[in-house]
Amino acid sequence: MMIVKKDMLDNKSGRRTIVLVLIMLVVIILFILDTGVETAEESVNIEAGKCLTCHKQASPGLYQQWFESAHAVQRVTCVDCHHADKGDPDAFEHYGVLVATLVTPRDCGRCHQQIRTEFEKSHHAQAGLILDSQDAYLAQVTAGEPVAILGCESCHGCKVKIDSSSPNRLHLKSWPNAGIGRINPDGSPGACNSCHTRHSFSG
């Protein structure tokens, strides 16, 4: 430990030395703290970094929407929303990471629990129940499946089907769909992106 002598404080050279030592100590402490935080973040977000690097090239429009969003400001990345657990019906491995194409209200609810709870109690969340009604049956019989998909299901939602042969595991007859009462493979009702535009999340 450095001992400060009175005669060092009395001359300019001594004061400069002390100030420089203190500045160096502060810089070293800040560097150590900063390095520790960066290392921890890197270990947690290494997958997210890979996603962003690739999608910036592969889908620049989606990347830009995300980049300008509130989620980007809060460091919410692809993996945070598209993360899937083993056993999820729509999960698939994508460059070594288990993901799901479909982001459901249950997924959004990991961060937005209160909003998810409120939505599930709403009339909108029940819009997909019409799919099992006589009205839906009549639409299928009289107008045919293409009209029912483009008409009823585009607003009310559909039952999202899984297709294990599809690269993203979602069946083309039920995806893409952003109907407000969509019935998702994880059992959750609704589609947040009916109102909150995907990737830019405005609304």
Note the pLDDT tens digit of each residue in 29-61: 776 665 544 443 444 467 788 899 999 999 999
CA distance 109 to 80: 12
Supply the pLDDT for residue 24: 82
With 0-12 CB in 10 A as exposed, 13-18 as middle and 19+ as buried, what is 62? middle
φ, ψ dihedrals at 61, nearest 5°: -65, -50
- Report the chain's mean pLDDT, rounded to a whole number: 84
* Ramachandran assignment for 53, one of left (phi > 0), alpha (psi -120 to 50 degrees), beta (any other): alpha
Domain ranges of the chain: 1-58, 102-194
Question: Which ranges of the chain does DSSP label H, i.e. alpha helix?
Answer: 6-10, 12-58, 60-67, 70-73, 78-82, 105-108, 113-120, 134-143, 145-150, 152-156
φ, ψ dihedrals at 37, nearest 5°: -65, -45
Note the pLDDT tens digit of each residue in 162-199: 998 998 899 998 999 999 999 999 999 999 999 998 89
- Adjacent-strand bridge partners of 93: 98
CA distance 138 to 132: 11
Note the pLDDT tens digit of each residue in 84-121: 999 999 999 999 899 999 999 999 999 999 999 999 99
User: Strand, helix or coil at 169?
Assistant: coil
Q: Which amino acid is at 62?
A: L
Cβ contacts of 195 within 8 Å, gap of 6 or more: 180, 203
| Stretch 68-78: mean pLDDT | 91
CB 161 within 8 A of CB 170: yes
CB 98 within 8 A of CB 91: yes
Note the pLDDT tens digit of each residue in 58-68: 999 999 999 99
Closest-CA residue to 196 (of 133, 123, 107, 132): 107
CB 97 within 8 A of CB 90: no
